[in-house]
Structure 1
Amino acid sequence: MRRAKTMNYLRMLFICLCIVIQFAFAAALAAVGDVTAAFPAPGTCPTGLSWDGKRLWVSDLKTDTLYAIDRTDGTVTDKIAAPTFRPLGLAFDGEGLWCVCGEEELLYRIIPKTSLVTHRLESPVEKPTGLAWDGKYIWVASRKAREIHQIDPEDGTTINSFPSPARYPQGLAFDGKYLWVADRVSDKIYLVNPTGGEVIAMFDAPAPYAYGLAWDGEKLWNADFQSDSIYCLSVGGDDAFIRKEGKKQRVEFTHEVRNYGPGIMESLDVYIAIPENLPNQELLGKPVFSPEPTGFLKDRWGQKVAHYHFTDSPAGTINKVSMTVEAEIWDTRWFIFPDKVGALDDIPADIRKEYLEDDDKFSLDHPTIQKAVTEAVGDETNPYWRMRRIFNYVIDNIYYEMSGGWNTAPAVLERGNGSCSEYTFVFIAICRAAGLPARYAGSIAIRGDDASLDDVFHRWAEVYLPNYGWIPVDASRGDSASPEHQADSIGHLTNTYIITTRGGGNSEYLGWTYNSDEKWVTRGKCKIYTEHIGEWNPIGGE
């Protein structure tokens, strides 16, 4: 009997140990935003969430109660009556819990040990929701103003404020460096710079109604109102990027050159950029060319191209070549923590040599570019924040207009508008002049439906950040007043692109174009017409 009990005890101990190891292993492998633990909330209407150094506190809108729970399994270890009949956000200041009263728009401070209310503030914003404590000040989110305010806990004076990342901020948490914001409409959780309000990163919330947030010193916690659950979220994964929503697509890229005469096109060279495996795309096989190329080449930037050579094309000749690519493409998001970005001196010498050089579209020594560097960068030394300041400068000084032609970076800045390529040239020029290596990526884009045609294409920049590598930055797509939309164009690619081209400037084969280019020589009068089309179809869904 005693032996049986001992065996049962050892068996249970082994099972518990396996569970602990399993969760620890899962946490070690977790990417940013992954759920590493979850348990039911103590009530059915969880709102605010906070950490007091030992326990999580959850406010419940239905029971008007503040619950202290064990973060390992959600066990309720204490509970006190909320100081309001509509408790929302929570924040712990080291001794007391601050609680939002959603009905009267007040902030109450209550001591958990005694349940005594020691302070009351009128909210400086309408419709307050989330709260956070940064060691000195309170942060409060407003869903009506769509703003986040840092306030003095003594009298409610606003110290700092900025727009919320999205439309409906709910939960707030401060991790000692950054502010975390949960939004119930976008269903995302944002990492925000507490000084200027820039969104640094974002990921999908674990459930449909993200409310309270709390930081326990290592992990981020989220209370979800719809699922009535508390989630532990990983925010320190080693993966530089995560991929989701992969889809398999086929794109046929056609480059056509017509000679309407009456003269002869004596020679024609067509170059088609060949895509390769990248974080956002994996080729399902080798590209198929029609007809077979004359040969394959590589330009000064390492870009591979298929080369076609034609001779003696009389009037009426149509030279048509194509490349068909099958690939799986993903929505890909990089997670960059500015404090983990290395210094400019950490950038490899070969990267600096190749991607800091001048070129005719950049004109790095031009007074307009030099002025832009001074105004944009100032005394900032962190490469990430240099990039963000340059990004802000570009979108503040250019608006999107595709009027044809690609002018130099100084001309575009002086004119004040440009296409995606011109935005990219300006961004690259200022980055390089500021000592930050930059290049461009060119793509064929899905336009709306997965079965679609692209004859416009799209280009953006890539910037080199030490410890992270090359990061996409799309200034034209991010030209928006919304902090979320701006951040969505930095370190993020949707699953709508096949990148064919990456280059640092003028190419001996592609020139300043991307996807493809042609060079021809004619005898006599000739009217030459070119056409470039990308035809998309989902694989298996034709």
Structure 2
Amino acid sequence: MGVSSLYAITFVGKNCLAIDSLRGFLLRIDPETDNATVVNPYQTSEFADVTGLAVWSNDLWFTRYNTVYVCREALVGENIASLKPEPLVTLPYNLDGIAVWNSTLYISSQQGGCIFVYSLISGREITRFYAPGIGVENLTVRDEELWVCDRLEQTVYCLERGTGETKFNVLTPFEYPTGLGFYTDPETGEEVLYVAYAGDELFIRDDPNSYEQYQLAKRDRTFIHPLYFHYNESQRYATSNGYLIEMSYVEEIEPLEEIYLEDVEWRIALPSETDRQKVREISYIGTPFTEEIEAGERVAVFKFKPLNSAERRIFGWKALLEVRGIKYQIHPLDVEKIQPLTQEFKDKYLVDNDNLAMESSIVRQAAEEAVGTETNILRKLLSVRNYVYDRLDYSLTAKIETPDVVLDRGIGSCGEYVGVLLALGRLNEIPCRTVGRYKCPAFADRRGVPLEPEYNHVWLEFYIPGFGWVPMESNPDDTGGSGPYPLRFFMGLAWYHIEIGKGLKFQRLTNQGLPVDKEKVSLGNLAINHVRFSLPFWMNCQPFRGRYSTHGVYYG
């Protein structure tokens, strides 16, 4: 209550110390009750705009603007004794996060693009590491590991403390992580990583004095939440917080034109089984279906004999899914030497089989400019992505145009971003395909409430020979300007992505065994779709808690 923007957290015994950067509150929070106490009621101005916080021995450390401060002997047990900030290190950059381990000081700076490492004995810089992300970063230390959260990347990184090399990284379930710390339960000994978040949220403001009584407004939103993670080193991926989602997909037949089809099979793809998504159960809605396997994917087949414009039906499926955030841990050096593609793969994933305008001059020129002389598959695709982000701005469009039209006008929807990325990727001999279908509205704390997305969504997967298919988002990482762009969804997906019918069309109609002519019967003119999600309040499916494991996936 009364807290606006938590920007750093650290644990002292049974309590959490946190800083509200906007108000200047230094807070002592009881993890068992959420009770928060302001421990610097007379010094809030001295702690306003503080972004980093650390405790070592009895000393309290923090960053403010371009200076590191220390409060000597600030703690007596778990209580604050006195706060007398002394400047210790000043740099020519704004400083963000801070961590202390014995006689070593770690300082992050987005402006400097580095994590600076200082000796507390000599007061001099020992070394510096490249920052793993591009946003404002905060720090904590655990044994030989340096942990970093990046506000813009929506990611937590585990680094080697001595070298700064990234061991693995995971997506956070919420946007804008601003602080992190490990808490050990004094009763059970369980160690849990907690992350602080600071952003805002939309709400309906009730103003009885206004003609428009209900108004859309924004308010601060800040909280601390556990981050559960699992690192599967052998399979090269890391997953984070799991959720149980109930998804319903329904078609409501309401033709806009006269229609009569003698013998219809209406095929709708079902959710896929992947490293981050598990199907617990599937049931029908309205009309029973039979299930078939097509290219390794499950498909629901609804049969109507006949189907005409006079009838009204509701039919579809409901699925109970375990979903998690995932990040694949593959680096350019891992793919310097990859297996050649088979001719079958080339014929399927390096050709224009989806109106990609790959023969047009504007698309071919863009494919050449995007990559230049790069030969590494990961760097090539990242160059393609960044080039597309430089050329396009996101906008919802009435229809999906071909990549040549999209590149010429400079704006595109998610489907048009995918089309351009596919065309440029395939022209650069990177096998890729469209995947996706829907995203659950990203409100992980709204349990048992119907969540209905306004639109469907698509992204893409690219194929790494010797490893397999890896995801890449279409447009969400295009933050505008000329970069740099975050890498949160490059080889990664958040928990709210729902993977359906990978490698298949989401829906297909056949009449008497033959494909229905789209010019005569289109799905958009035949039916209205309804999509609903719910996170059951009685279940939170969480992966491995605390320390990471490398011994297979645990789906608690």
| Equivalent residue, structure 1, for 2:532 | 535
The answer to whether the aligner puts 1:381 opposite 2:375 as a matched pair is yes
Query: Aligned pairs, how many?
Result: 393
Q: Cα distance, 1:127 vs. partner?
A: 4.3
Identity %: 18
Q: Structure 1 residues 290, 169: closer, same or farther in 2, change over 3 A?
A: same
Match of 1:436 among 422, 430, 435: 430
CA contact (8 A) 1:168 1:184 kept: yes
The answer to whether the aligner puts 1:125 opposite 2:122 as a matched pair is no
Unaligned runs of 5+ in 2: 1-53, 63-67, 74-84, 100-105, 117-124, 160-165, 183-192, 196-228, 540-556
Residue aligned with 2:424, SS: helix
Letter of the 2:426 partner, please give it: R
Q: Cα distance, 1:507 vs. partner?
A: 8.8
Match of 1:270 among 266, 270, 273: 266
CA contact (8 A) 1:166 1:183 kept: no
| Equivalent residue, structure 2, for 1:166 | 135
| Equivalent residue, structure 2, for 1:475 | 474
Distance in 1 (CA, whole Å) between partners of 2:397 and 2:318 is 30
Letter of the 1:202 partner, please give it: N
The answer to whether the aligner puts 1:487 opposite 2:487 as a matched pair is yes
Distance in 2 (CA, whole Å) between partners of 1:476 and 1:257 is 32
Unaligned runs of 5+ in 1: 1-39, 49-58, 65-84, 88-100, 106-122, 132-138, 151-155, 193-198, 212-221, 225-232, 512-516
The answer to whether the aligner puts 1:202 opposite 2:169 as a matched pair is yes
Q: Structure 1 residues 474, 437: closer, same or farther in 2, change over 3 A?
A: same
| Equivalent residue, structure 2, for 1:248 | 244
Q: Cα distance, 1:364 vs. partner?
A: 2.3
Q: C-alpha offsets along residues 140-196 of structure 1, whole Å, 9 cap, x if unaligned?
A: 8535x474499xxxxx9xxx9999622245689xx9xxxx8835868955489xxxx
| Equivalent residue, structure 2, for 1:509 | 508
Q: Structure 1 residues 294, 201: closer, same or farther in 2, change over 3 A?
A: closer
CA-based RMSD of the aligned residues comes to: 5.1
Q: Structure 1 residues 519, 360: closer, same or farther in 2, change over 3 A?
A: same
Q: Structure 1 residues 454, 382: closer, same or farther in 2, change over 3 A?
A: same
Q: C-alpha offsets along residues 100-140 of structure 1, whole Å, 9 cap, x if unaligned?
A: x53xx2xxxxxxxxxxxxxxxxx443448779xxxxxxx98
Q: C-alpha offsets along residues 509-535 of structure 1, whole Å, 9 cap, x if unaligned?
A: 389xxxxx9867979xx9944211222
Q: Structure 1 residues 486, 467: closer, same or farther in 2, change over 3 A?
A: farther
CA contact (8 A) 1:463 1:472 kept: yes
Letter of the 2:148 partner, please give it: A
Residue aligned with 2:508, SS: coil
CA contact (8 A) 2:61 2:71 kept: no
Distance in 2 (CA, whole Å) between partners of 1:470 and 1:459 is 16
Residue aligned with 1:429, SS: helix
Letter of the 1:501 partner, please give it: G
The answer to whether the aligner puts 1:372 opposite 2:366 as a matched pair is yes
Q: Cα distance, 1:406 vs. partner?
A: 1.4
Q: Which has the larger radius of gyration?
A: 1
Distance in 2 (CA, whole Å) between partners of 1:383 and 1:200 is 21
| Equivalent residue, structure 1, for 2:148 | 182
Residue aligned with 1:333, SS: strand
Q: Cα distance, 1:454 vs. partner?
A: 3.0
Distance in 2 (CA, whole Å) between partners of 1:427 and 1:347 is 20
Greater percentage in helix: 1
Distance in 2 (CA, whole Å) between partners of 1:390 and 1:426 is 9
Alignment of 1:57-206 (within 5 A): 61-62=70-71, 101-102=88-89, 105=90, 123-127=91-95, 141-142=108-109, 145=111, 147-148=113-114, 165-168=134-137, 182-183=148-149, 189-190=156-157, 202-203=169-170
Q: Structure 1 residues 369, 521: closer, same or farther in 2, change over 3 A?
A: closer
CA contact (8 A) 2:435 2:459 kept: yes
CA contact (8 A) 2:93 2:112 kept: no
CA contact (8 A) 2:140 2:180 kept: no
Q: Cα distance, 1:462 vs. partner?
A: 0.6
Q: Cα distance, 1:278 vs. partner?
A: 0.9
Q: C-alpha offsets along residues 71-104 of structure 1, whole Å, 9 cap, x if unaligned?
A: xxxxxxxxxxxxxx968xxxxxxxxxxxxx53xx
The answer to whether the aligner puts 1:318 opposite 2:312 as a matched pair is yes
Distance in 2 (CA, whole Å) between partners of 1:348 and 1:375 is 27
Q: Structure 1 residues 265, 290: closer, same or farther in 2, change over 3 A?
A: same
Distance in 2 (CA, whole Å) between partners of 1:184 and 1:476 is 20
| Equivalent residue, structure 1, for 2:440 | 446
Match of 1:237 among 233, 236, 242: 233
The answer to whether the aligner puts 1:282 opposite 2:278 as a matched pair is yes
The answer to whether the aligner puts 1:413 opposite 2:407 as a matched pair is yes
Residue aligned with 2:356, SS: coil
Distance in 2 (CA, whole Å) between partners of 1:128 and 1:257 is 55
The two structures have a TM-score, normalised by structure 1, of 0.59
Q: Cα distance, 1:427 vs. partner?
A: 0.8
